Structure 1
Amino acid sequence: MKRKGSLVRRCILYVYNGLMSIMQFFTPKSNSFEMEDSDDMKATIHNGIIDDSIKFSERVLDEFRRSVGRYWPETGGMLASTQNSELIDKCHFDTHSQNTPGTFYYDVETMSKVFRAWKSKGYITNGIYHSHPKGAIHPSYHDISTALLHINFFGLDYFYLPIFQPDRKGFYTLYFYVVRKVQDNLEVNLNYVLKATQDGYEYIPFRAWKRCYPIEQLNAYRKSIEKAAEADRATTVTEKNESNIASSRTITITTIQEDENMSAEKSIASTRSMTEVPVQEYFKKVTSLYPDNVLDKVIVCIGTGGARSFLENCARSGFRNYILMDADVVSPSNIATQGVFISEMGKKKVEIIRDRIMDINPRANVICVDKFLDDRMSDEEFKWYMNKFPNKKPTDYLILGCTDNFEAQKRSSLLALKYGTPYLAAMMYEAGAAAEIIFVYPGVTESCPRCLLRDRFEKYENGFVNDVDSSSCPIFATERMNSLKGYIALMLLMYHEDSENPFSRMLDDVKNRNFVEIRLNPYLKDSKLGIGLFDRVFADASRYVYFDETLWIPQYPDRSEFGSETCKLCGGTGDLTSLQEKWKYTDTRGIRFDDTFGDNTQ
């Protein structure tokens, strides 16, 4: 028996050692912001149907009141059923876990003992519960990937993932998610929302939430991180010359194998050793175009796959400082849409782009952040990466939202507004039929991202799920969008930096036309998108246009003066600089959009 217990413990240690670096155990990873519901919206928002086929025993619910239900977010434990898997009647709160405001780590020793004890009694370990900060109520892709690990380890075809919104008096709200393995997919469903009250427990109205995740993709995602998570390896953070970033060539903030790290270092060193030509020779033809202080500004790119050519061309222009944030790896489907190569399969996108930048400009400083911008990342952590480039003012940064994930795009825009930096976001439409770019410069442009994309924000706030990806999108559409993205980036970075340079004054001309669309298909009006604006604008010039036109569409802040309801993000004031002070002590993960501007934090 002793040997069996030791074997079980080693197995659990192996799995959990992998999980520790993979998931940062169940942090809040979804920007899910609940709105204050007006009466006429409740029917749409509260459309969930209660499925209480799986219940908690009252003893377990009472235990939640004394622990996860009243403590600060990022606490939790393990669940089990003693007989019937449809009744969760055992829980263990992990008092030895390592917690921060944004992460939750299990204590492996404790969980090993609990699992062994439950298994010896015939209990079914079938869930993990944890609490999130207010407003973060949904599991993310990372959560689901981790649930798959538990399903495989425990030999189940389901797993329970209750998420708590705690209350200091123990009047918690429990969002009960069930993950089920269905053929080659994981289906995740919000079965019900349970509220702990002074008198007991009651189901409350909720918005339906269901997602389907291909297991093959989840495994690929997991394997991309497991390269750094084997049992005998710890997470490493490699930084070069942290005390003097100006002299640094590459800073890698990621989880990589030691031999891979050494290989990357040797590769970069080799590139430099072959660079006998003075660096300034490479850029002498554009020296007069870009002032040196502009080239020393920082380009922060959230999502790098489709932005690769844009980033490489920034390097060719002489820009030196980059923060690349993306946890994705190169996959076969990227060959046709993102300008990658077969030799790069399985490699981290941020690292291959870093190497390309270094091969173009050996003086570049590149920070690779091997993470997605989701609720696992606090504002404090994001700012920490920005501060790696010291002595910069807000306009010395340009934050770019270049992901295909709306929540990440939204979060990147909120961070830009909080820190007062220029912002640019690009989005490709279905099948590459059109593309859009928005840009914001606090103190110059008046419309915030929610003013510019109000309909889209409202759709997502009401449960819209986007199923459009890069399928059927010509690579030329991406390159066309990246080209215009580059011009607009120059316009933002060069603003009022050199009176003789045309880029220096362009923003003044289009500051109230900061929503840009490109028609990339002549049949756009008759497509599923049904966008007819180009046909109307060019009605009298149809002999001279066909497609590839760009429209700089006039924009106004959302307020009654312009025939719109007041913007729930910026208040429609036109002064975006006010948000720096308003959100100074607010983490953007908790920002929601109330009906009344001025109270949009939770």
Structure 2
Amino acid sequence: MHPELHMTRQVYDQICNTIGRRPPESGGILGSSDGGKTIDRFYFDATAKVTGGTYSPDTEVINRVLAHWDAQDILLVGFVHSHPQGYAKPSEGDYRYVKAIMSALNITDDFFMPIVIVNDPPDGKINLYAYTFRTDILLEAQPLGLLEDYAADPILPSLRTHPKCGADIFARVQSCCPQSALRKKTVVVIGCGGSRQFVEELARCGVGRFVLVDGDVVTLSNLATQQAYLCEVGCSKVEVLRDRLLDISPVAEVIAVPRFLDDSFRDELFERVVGSVLQERPTDVLICGCADSFSAQARAAALAMQYGSCYLAAQLYQHGAAAEIYFSYPGVTRGGCARCAMESRYRAYGEGYQNDVGSEGAAIFATSRVNALKGQIALMLLLYRESESSPYHGLLDQVADRNFVMIRMRPDAGNTLHLGIFDEVFSGKELCFFDETVWIPQTPNEDCPLCGGAPDLTALKGTLRDTRVHWRCRHGTE
């Protein structure tokens, strides 16, 4: 008997919104949390090496994902990937690869090998052809297309009764968050811990595409400082955030990359993960530096300059007493690059400074406060000159040279953190106490080794040969 392929609607939609939106030869792994009865987990292998006719999995990352799955009693039950039009069956290479996996992991049960045929050009609509390996035998099932009744669906049952729920979700925010604009935007998030609320709320605004980069897992301490839950402890942060985003906006495309933005993450890999939009429409990409690591933050800023993308970064100060946000939009903001705004910090790290300030001692409300303002600024960047009916249409012009923001979240922040700007602005104003925001004018630094004081960051596009090196240059860490 041919085995049946039971797959949740959520997994099917994830396949459509990842593999189905890319050229042939991309793929991922399939998992089951109920002993192999239902495929209810999917990891998209965004960092695989692919060509027009070959797919080579990123084994290092997939092994890490499998370790996370094993800790949650999730079984590896299959491997799914796409083929060019006209090649709806597994190749001989696919057959050898699956046999190697089954042998290495001592898999004796059925192992699913669905083949995806995508449209040309890819648009998220697919045909799914189900195949199963049973020891040395390849079994063929009936081809599965865009069917509403084939899948067990315990996770998102509303998708069946409301197949057009995407439009209903965003109906009440359409006037301020025009969907025609936000659906084409990509938000790249470097660091998915404290930023999680910010990212989830961008999904509630209707942002169409997310790329999540973070190699960390949820820990018990995250429950008090981030939007994390007990059932997620031990899970990859990018995977749990991906699932939450799709639970909010099932029409979104979410790429989860469980890796840190370190020197092993080459620029070429970044390009491949983010996709063609990075070259074709760079200002439709917002790169968000939300990591605890200074090197990751600095690298993210360099990547934004290299590709001509928008950029946003935030830092929470000790005990949550204050916070800062930097943002830029090439050709619009005039306050220089992130390094101009934070040259003293770059210099300090270059001289061996090690940051020992984390989220300890900061109530989660401080993180929420920063996330709320990050969201407003993100919409200013994403919706700039997109729709005159939106209140965010021209807000960026009003703060184009004041692209460094600080928030005072404790009355004594100025004294304890030596931030004189707050006393300078609010001293003597009896109606001010705390929770004020200042938008500080910035001047490009002519000695900046990254931008050279260029007021227009579009001039830097394509000039950094390797952002792993350029963020360190002069007063850097090497």
TM range (shorter): 0.5 to 0.7
Selected match of 2:440 from 542, 545, 553:
553
Candidates 290, 295, 300, aligned match of 2:177: 290
Q: Give the direction of change, closer, same or farther, for the CA distance of 1:299–1:594 in structure 2 (3 Å limit).
A: closer
**Counterpart position of 2:371:** 482
Per the TM alignment, residue 445 of structure 1 is displaced from its structure 2 partner at its CA by 1.7
In the TM superposition, what are the counterparts of 1:233-272 in structure 2 within 5 Å?
Answer: 233=105, 246-247=123-124, 272=159
Separation in structure 2 between the aligned mates of residue 595 and residue 404 of structure 1, nearest angstrom: 22
Q: Which residue of 1 aligns with 2:52?
A: none
Note the alpha carbon deviations across 1:470-519, whole angstroms, 9 max, x for none: 10111000000000000000000111112333311111111110110000
Contact 1:221 1:328 in 2 (8 A): no
Q: 1:66-77, aligned counterparts within 5 Å?
A: none
**Matches of 1:594 and 1:323 in 2, distance apart?**
27
Q: Is the 8 A contact 2:178 2:390 kept in 1?
A: no
Name 2:271's counterpart in structure 1.
383
Alignment coverage as a number of residue pairs: 356
Instruction: Please tell me the residue identity of whatever aligns with 2:462.
Output: E
Matched AA of 2:171: K
- The separation in 1 between residues aligned to 2:287 and 2:207, in whole angstroms, is 14
Residues 84-483 of structure 1: pairs in structure 2 closer than 5 A? 224=68, 232-233=104-105, 246-247=123-124, 272-273=159-160, 275=162, 278-296=165-183, 297-387=185-275, 392-446=280-334, 447-483=336-372
Q: Which of 487, 491, 513 lines up with 2:380 in the alignment? A: 491
Identity of aligned residues (%): 42
**2:288–2:300 Cα contact (<8 Å) kept:** yes
Q: Distance in 2 between matches of 1:494 and 1:284?
A: 17
Deviations 1:2-53 (A, max 9, x none): xxxxxxxxxxxxxxxxxxxxxxxxxxxxxxxxxxxxxxxxxxxxxxxxxxxx
* Alpha-carbon RMSD: 3.3
Which ranges of structure 2 fall in alignment gaps of 5 or more residues?
1-48, 50-59, 77-100, 107-111, 127-151
Classify 1:405/1:286 alpha carbon distance in 2 versus 1 (closer, same or farther; 3 Å).
Answer: same
Quote the offset at 1:384 in angstroms: 0.5
Tell me, yes or no, if structure 1 residue 572 matches structure 2 residue 459.
Answer: no
Q: CA deviation at 1:288?
A: 2.0
Q: Which of 306-315 and 220-229 deviates more?
A: 220-229
Q: Is the 8 A contact 1:323 1:367 kept in 2?
A: yes
Q: Deviations over 1:67-109 (max 9, x none)?
A: xxxxxxxxxxxxxxxxxxxxxxxxxxxxxxxxx9xxxxxxxxx
TM-score (norm 1): 0.54
Amino acid in the other structure paired with 2:169: Y
Cα distance in 2 for partners of 1:472, 1:431 equals: 5
In structure 2, the CA distance between the partners of 1:370 and 1:268, relative to structure 1 (3 Å rule), is farther
CA displacement, residues 325-365 of structure 1 (integer Å, 9 cap, x when unaligned): 11111100000000111111111111111111111111111
CA contact 2:159–2:165 (8 Å) conserved in 1? no
SS at match of 1:340: coil
Aligned to 1:522: 411
The alignment partner of 1:518 has SS state of strand
Query: Does the 8 Å CA contact 2:176/2:391 hold for their aligned counterparts?
Result: no
Change (3 A) 1:421 1:232: same
Give the secondary structure class of the aligned counterpart of 2:221: helix
> Quick one: distance in 1 between partners of 2:358 and 2:114?
34
- Structure 2 counterpart of 1:573, which letter? A
Q: Against the structure 1 CA distance between its residues 222 and 451, is the aligned structure 2 distance closer, same or farther, given a 3 Å change threshold?
A: farther
Shift of 1:394: 0.6
- Pair 240,221 (structure 1): closer, same or farther in 2 beyond 3 Å: closer
Contact 1:245/1:389 (<8 A) preserved:
no
8 Å Cα contact 1:240-1:248 kept in structure 2: no
1:434, distance to aligned residue in structure 2 (A): 0.5
Give the Å deviation of 1:571. 0.7
Q: Is the 8 A contact 2:68 2:234 kept in 1?
A: yes
Per the TM alignment, residue 239 of structure 1 is displaced from its structure 2 partner at its CA by 10
The corresponding residue for 2:30 is: none
Q: Deviations over 1:555-599 (max 9, x none)?
A: 00013xxxxxx111111121211211322xx12112255569xxx
The residue number in structure 1 matching 2:17 is none
Letter in 1 for 2:104: D
Q: What letter corresponds to residue 316 of structure 1 in structure 2? A: R
Distance 1:359 1:415 in 2: 30
- Does 2:478 correspond to 1:591? no
Tell me the amino acid that sits aligned with residue 476 of structure 1: F
What is the letter of the counterpart of residue 582 of structure 1? Answer: T
How far residue 316 of structure 1 moved from its aligned partner, in angstroms, is 1.0
Distance 1:428 1:405 in 2: 12
Letter in structure 2 aligned against 1:587: D
Amino acid at match of 1:396: D
1:511 aligns with 2:393: no
- Separation of aligned partners in 2, 1:246 and 1:467: 46
Q: Which amino acid aligns with 2:368?
A: E
Aligned CA distance change for structure 1 residues 466 and 593 (closer, same or farther; 3 Å): closer
Indicate if the aligned counterparts of 2:299 and 2:471 stay in contact, CA closer than 8 A. Answer: no
Could you give the per-residue CA deviations for residues 124-143 of structure 1, whole angstroms, max 9, x where no partner exists? Answer: xxxxxxxxxxxxxxxxxx9x
Q: Is the 8 A contact 2:316 2:367 kept in 1?
A: yes
Alpha-carbon offset, residue 551 of structure 1: 0.4
Q: Is the Cα contact below 8 Å between 2:278 and 2:307 reproduced in 1?
A: no
Shift of 1:540: 3.2
> Aligned partners of 1:353 and 1:239: how far apart in 2?
27
Task: Say if 1:495 and 1:505, in contact at 8 Å, map to a contact too.
Answer: yes
**How far, CA to CA, are the matches of 1:364 and 1:567 in structure 2?**
38
Q: CA deviation at 1:301?
A: 0.6
Go from structure 1 to structure 2 and tell me whether the alpha carbon gap of 1:366 and 1:240 turns closer, same or farther (over 3 Å shift): farther
Q: Counterpart of 2:469 in structure 1: which amino acid?
A: G
Is the contact between residue 323 and residue 366 of structure 1 (CA under 8 Å) also seen in structure 2? yes
Q: 1:282 to 1:503 in 2, by over 3 A?
A: same
Q: Secondary structure at the match of 1:577?
A: helix
Name the CA shift for 1:237/1:525 in 2 (closer, same or farther; >3 Å): farther
Could you tell me how far apart the structure 2 residues matched to 1:283 and 1:292 are?
Answer: 8
Code of the residue aligned with 1:353 in structure 2: it is L
**Paired amino acid for 2:393:** S
Distance 1:303 1:240 in 2: 31
Residue type of the alignment partner of 1:247: G
**Structure 2 letter corresponding to 1:457:** Y
How far apart are 1:226 and its partner, in Å? 8.1
Cα distance in 1 for partners of 2:302, 2:468 equals 9
| Structure 2 counterpart of 1:36 | none
Equivalent in the alignment of 2:390: 501
- For 1:477 and 1:445, how far apart are their aligned partners in 2? 27
CA distance in 2, matches of 1:340, 1:245: 34
Q: How far apart, in 2, do the equivalents of 1:374 and 1:226 lie?
A: 26
Alpha-carbon displacement from aligned partner over 1:213-256 (angstroms, at most 9, x marks no partner): xxxxxxx999659869999349x99997776654279xxxxxxx
